[in-house]
């Protein structure tokens, strides 16, 4: 997705997001000291934003949180952990796509270790289990990434389902409390 950039000041930009030929949304982003951009406020449903400056320098900003009525998924890049909370029962792969992309983006830089914290995820339907299973399988190609899955013995679905993830990725560390 390409985004036209208009500089308003050294630290603030106005950006027009072109989601399709007929749909345009404008919003502001802030240039952070690290040189990355942050949306003001965070856009729902946008998992990645590429900003092109006049010098054709690309900066990519990754969404860190996806929220629904009954759930939230938050990625903390400093701790390299993705936290799932609530009841996650979306309908099919299409509705799980933003979460799947968040998981994929978290591993794009090949961190040595990344954790999925599912301890506060009370419910995950079969489509969600499939999404997580596909993510685990994708890590087989990224052999240098150690996946740690944090679960809870008090949540019934996690007992059997999380053990099955070890079959997909034998090196997976499963920590159930």
Q: Tell me the domain boundaries of the chain.
A: 2-62, 65-176
> What is the pTM for the complete model shown?
0.65
Q: Which CATH superfamily is domain 65-176 in?
A: STAS domain (3.30.750.24)
Q: Extract long-range pairs of 127-132: CB within 8 Å, 24+ residues apart.
A: 127/90, 127/91, 127/92, 127/93, 127/95, 127/96, 128/88, 128/89, 128/90, 128/96, 129/161, 130/93, 131/93, 131/96, 131/99, 131/100, 131/103, 132/103, 132/165
What does the pLDDT read at residue 109? Answer: 84
pLDDT band at 38 (very low <50, low <70, confident <90, very high): low
Largest CA distance in the chain: 54
d(CA 40, CA 111): 28
Of 127, 123, 77, nearest to 102 by C-alpha is: 77
Model confidence pLDDT, tens digit, residues 96-146? 999 999 999 899 888 999 999 999 999 999 999 999 999 999 999 888 899
Say whether pLDDT at 87 is over 80.
Answer: yes
């Amino acid at each position: 997705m390409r985004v036209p950039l208009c500089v308003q000041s050294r630290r603030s930009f106005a950006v027009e997001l072109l989601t399709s030929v007929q749909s345009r949304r404008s919003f502001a982003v802030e240039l952070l000291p690290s040189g990355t951009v942050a949306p003001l406020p965070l856009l729902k449903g946008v998992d990645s934003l590429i900003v092109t400056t006049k010098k054709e320098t690309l900066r990519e900003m990754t969404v860190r949180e996806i929220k629904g009525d009954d759930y939230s998924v938050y990625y903390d890049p400093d701790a390299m952990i993705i936290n799932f909370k609530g009841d996650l029962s979306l309908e099919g792969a299409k509705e799980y796509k933003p979460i799947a992309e968040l998981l994929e983006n978290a591993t794009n830089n090949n961190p040595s270790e990344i954790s999925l914290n599912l301890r506060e995820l009370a419910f995950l339907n079969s489509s969600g289990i499939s999404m997580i299973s596909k993510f685990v399988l994708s890590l087989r190609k990224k052999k240098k990434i150690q996946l740690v899955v944090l679960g809870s013995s008090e949540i019934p679905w996690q007992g059997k389902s999380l053990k099955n993830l070890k079959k997909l990725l034998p090196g997976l560390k499963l920590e159930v409390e």
